[in-house]
Each structure stands twice: as structure tokens, then as C-alpha cells.
């Protein structure tokens, strides 16, 4: 089948919003630090606002972000959080719910965590079960494994954790519980995941160390107020990188992007497919690796992904499916059953999106396969209220001369407000 022919290219320089994953952690850790902190580059997405609002409800003073995303946080130390007046609303943010679940497990008060209808469908047992193993008292209020839940804070012992699920959220939740309890912990991951929490804990003076894959947080660790500058969000950058790689004549530079090795799965996959991508001007900012990403159009070939590589690309797999439809050969992704537990069932949502665009995809319980190149048609894509699906469909809209309509594009603001406007500005 013939490949795609598009009228556009992507050219220019792009600045990305601050990294959403790091932003959640920056807000939570500065909230329990000793002294004041400044965070710059805080993104304006709804998920990060949910974390900020929950912390405010716990008595933390956090300013509204200015035009540069700068906020001030008055840390309350490990013992200074207050009992909220009502349930903490995590909105659509699984990161908020799972990280706060750990933090609140060691407090001296009870708290209820809740979220919107979408978040209530997402699993919580992966965090609750290991926290209960530590001695935390957590009860589901309506349905097992789902929000809302009630956390009765208390003392937690020093523990060796071996999480069954390869998840940075689970790891971070356990570290936060141990930090707040003052007991410290040792943690051994089944598969390495993004290490933003560990890097920030070390940067803020906790004494955390990593030896041979074993994370060690010492008893009595405390955090100092710090100045944190958030890099651009690599997950957001991936959508621009994909568009530039696919559109002939493209030459795009994404500035000041976080290039944490645990987050580079999509970039590495594209490079293996033949994409012309360079990481320029590498540096370290507040413990995080940062670089500029330059991408130019190139012909792509199929690859296979599975196993330990999946955690580092899990959020970008719907986008990879679209890219694979324009590559030569059969791209196959397996061991990605975690996709079914995101804001939507992303295996099903991706298959429906591809079908709406006239593309063929083979779905598995734990992944998918796409044969390319295929021709993208116009159509109506149901975003399923999932920002990743809506953003992927937005990229597809520039790969065809036909109209691509997308339902509920407001959900893009969960992670990348202004995404579509930036994409349109860069398209030539």
C-alpha cells in the first residue's frame, strides 16, 4: 500500500511546558521540605493543578504560577501537614492519587482520596497493597481497588520493598511513605522505571543512594527547601518529534527538554526505526539530565518492542502505533498490558482511532501490531476523554489532506495546554 503524502512540514524552535511527572514530585517534596522553595517551569495542565490543590487543602502555601510557571512553596516539614476539611479531589490525575496515598499513610490524621469518574476506574491496589504490607491502614469506600479510599495515617516500619508492578508511581508512593514516617526503606525494582523521585530526593538532601539497583532512603531523612527548574516535558515533546520525523522537509528543534534515560524509550525507538534525531547541548539541572532535541524527516522502518523496554515508552505507545503505520514493515509491541489501565483502555482506544483514520492494526491483550506504510484518511476520532489519544489524532491530522475531527480535545489540557496551537504555528 502507498505511504502517506502530506502538504506540510514542521520547522522552527519549540519550547515545551515543564515536565508533568517531575512537577508532581516537585510540589509534593517541596511541600514537606524544611524551608521555602521556588519551582520554575511548572506546567499549567489540569493534572498538576490537582496536586497543587490537594496540597493547599493540606495546609501548604503555594502561590499561583506566573507567566513563566514560577511558584513559591512554603514547606511545612515532615510533621506539618494539616487535616483537610473534606475529601482530596485528585481530578483525573493517577499520579496525584498514588503519590499522595503514600505520603498520607504516615500522617497523624485521616484523609479521603477521590477523583473524577475516569480516575475512579483506574486501579489503586498496586499502591494500596504494598502500603498495607508496611502497616498502613487504607480502606476502599465503595469498590475494591478503586477510589474513593480512606487513609488512616500512622507509624510505618522500616521495610525492604520488592514491588510486583514495574511502576514509578508505586515506587514513589513507597518512598514518600517511608520518608514521611521517618523510618527510611530499601527498595528493589523488578524492572527499572523512571527515577525522578530518587533524583529529586537526593538533590534536596535526603541522603538517598542507589547501589546495584537497590534504592536506599536512610532513616530520619529530611528535605531542605530548594530551587527547582523543571525541564521541558519529554512526553509532550514526543508528539512534535513524531510529526517532524513523518513530515517531509521538517527540521525542528525542541529546547531544554528533560532526557532522563527512563523517559527516552520513544526517542530511542524512533532512532532505531531510522529517524534523524540528535540530542544537543546536554547539561544537568537540579539533578535531571536536560538537552535540546533536533529532529529531521527520514524514512522509517519497523521495529519490535517488548519486555523491559515497555515501561520507558508506555505513555507514547498510541503515538508509536501511528508512526508505525507510516514505517516500512511490521511493528509489534508486546508486554504492554499496562496500556489497558490508563485514562482509557489505550489498546482499545488506539485500535478505534486507527480504524477511524482508515488504518489497520492487530490488537492483542498486551499490545498491538501495525503493518506499514498505510494511507491515512480523514475521519472522526473518539478521544475517549484521553489526552494521549487526542494528541495522537492531532498529529495524524497533519499527515493527510483530508479532515480529521476529534471529540473532546479539551482533554489535551490535562498535560499540554496550547498543544494544537503550537503544532499549527510550527507547521509550514
For residue 155, the model assigns a pLDDT of 76
pLDDT classification of 417: cutoffs 50, 70, 90: confident
Residue 379 has pLDDT above 70, yes or no: yes
Residue 227 has pLDDT above 80, yes or no: yes
pLDDT classification of 209: cutoffs 50, 70, 90: very high
Residues with active-site annotation: 315
How does pLDDT run across 24-58, given as a tens digit for each residue? 999 999 999 999 999 999 998 889 999 999 999 99
pLDDT classification of 6: cutoffs 50, 70, 90: low
For residue 159, the model assigns a pLDDT of 78
Cα(200)–Cα(206) distance, integer angstroms: 9
Contact 253, 14 (CB under 8 A): yes
Q: In order of start, what are the domains of the chain with their CATH numbers?
A: 11-16+231-426 (3.65.10.10), 20-229 (3.65.10.10)
0.75 surpassed by pTM? yes
How does pLDDT run across 273-294, given as a tens digit for each residue? 999 999 999 999 989 999 999 9
For residue 3, the model assigns a pLDDT of 38
> 3-state class of 330 per DSSP?
strand
3-state helix, strand, coil in the chain (%, to 5): 35, 25, 40
Mean pLDDT of all residues in 10-29:
95
Q: Which whole-number Å values give the CA distances from 232 to 76, 210, 411, in the listed order?
A: 28, 25, 20
302: nearest Cα among 325, 330, 277, 326: 330
Query: Mean pLDDT lowest for which of 257-261, 329-333, 408-412?
Result: 408-412
Mean pLDDT of all residues in 214-239:
96
Contact 149, 112 (CB under 8 A): yes
Residue 424 has pLDDT above 90, yes or no: no
Mean pLDDT of all residues in 178-207:
93
Q: Which tops the pLDDT comparison, 271 or 190?
A: 271
The mean pLDDT of the chain is 93
Mean pLDDT of all residues in 1-11:
59
Amino acid at each position: 500500500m502507498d505511504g502517506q503524502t502530506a502538504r506540510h512540514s514542521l520547522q522552527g524552535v519549540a519550547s515545551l511546558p515543564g515536565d508533568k511527572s517531575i512537577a508532581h514530585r516537585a510540589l509534593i517534596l517541596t511541600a514537606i521540605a524544611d524551608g521555602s522553595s521556588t519551582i520554575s517551569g511548572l506546567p499549567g495542565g489540569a493534572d498538576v493543578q490537582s496536586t497543587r490543590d490537594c496540597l493547599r487543602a493540606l495546609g501548604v502555601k503555594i502561590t499561583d504560577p506566573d507567566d513563566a510557571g514560577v511558584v513559591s512553596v512554603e514547606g511545612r516539614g515532615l510533621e506539618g501537614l494539616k487535616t483537610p476539611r473534606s475529601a482530596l479531589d485528585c481530578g483525573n490525575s493517577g499520579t496525584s492519587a498514588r503519590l499522595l496515598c503514600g505520603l498520607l499513610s504516615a500522617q497523624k490524621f485521616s484523609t479521603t482520596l477521590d477523583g473524577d469518574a475516569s480516575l475512579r476506574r483506574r486501579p489503586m491496589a498496586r499502591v494500596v497493597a504494598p502500603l498495607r504490607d508496611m502497616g498502613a491502614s487504607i480502606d476502599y469506600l465503595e469498590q475494591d481497588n478503586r477510589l474513593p479510599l480512606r487513609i488512616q495515617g500512622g507509624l510505618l516500619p522500616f521495610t525492604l520493598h520488592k514491588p510486583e508492578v514495574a511502576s514509578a508511581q508505586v515506587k514513589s508512593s513507597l518512598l514518600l511513605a517511608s520518608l514521611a514516617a521517618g523510618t527510611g526503606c530499601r527498595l528493589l525494582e523488578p524492572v527499572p522505571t523512571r527515577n525522578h523521585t530518587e533524583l529529586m530526593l537526593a538533590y534536596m538532601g535526603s541522603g538517598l543512594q542507589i547501589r546495584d539497583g537497590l534504592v536506599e532512603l536512610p532513616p530520619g531523612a529530611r528535605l531542605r527547601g530548594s530551587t527547582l527548574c523543571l525541564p521541558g516535558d519529554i512526553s509532550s515533546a514526543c508528539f512534535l518529534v513524531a510529526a517532524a520525523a513523518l513530515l517531509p522537509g521538517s527540521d525542528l528543534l525542541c529546547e531544554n527538554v528533560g532526557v532522563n534515560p527512563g523517559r527516552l524509550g520513544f526517542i530511542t525507538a524512533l532512532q532505531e526505526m531510522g529517524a534523524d534525531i540528535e540530542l544537543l547541548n546536554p547539561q544537568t539541572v537540579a539533578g535531571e539530565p536536560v538537552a535540546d532535541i533536533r529532529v529531521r524527516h527520514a524514512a522509517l522502518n519497523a521495529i519490535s518492542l517488548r519486555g523491559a523496554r515497555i515501561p520507558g515508552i508506555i505513555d507514547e505507545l498510541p503515538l508509536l502505533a501511528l508512526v508505525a503505520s507510516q514505517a516500512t514493515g511490521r511493528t509489534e509491541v508486546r508486554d504492554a498490558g499496562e496500556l489497558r489501565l490508563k485514562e482509557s483502555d489505550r489498546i482499545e482506544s488506539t485500535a478505534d482511532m486507527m480504524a477511524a483514520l482508515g488504518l489497520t492494526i492487530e490488537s492483542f491483550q498486551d499490545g498491538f501490531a501495525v503493518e506499514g506504510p498505510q494511507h491515512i484518511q480523514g475521519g472522526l476520532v473518539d478521544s475517549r476523554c484521553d489526552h494521549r489519544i487526542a494528541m495522537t489524532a492531532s498529529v495524524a491530522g497533519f499527515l493527510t489532506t483530508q479532515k480529521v475531527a476529534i471529540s473532546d480535545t479539551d482533554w489535551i489540557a490535562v498535560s499540554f495546554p496550547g498543544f494544537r496551537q503550537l503544532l499549527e504555528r510550527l507547521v509550514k
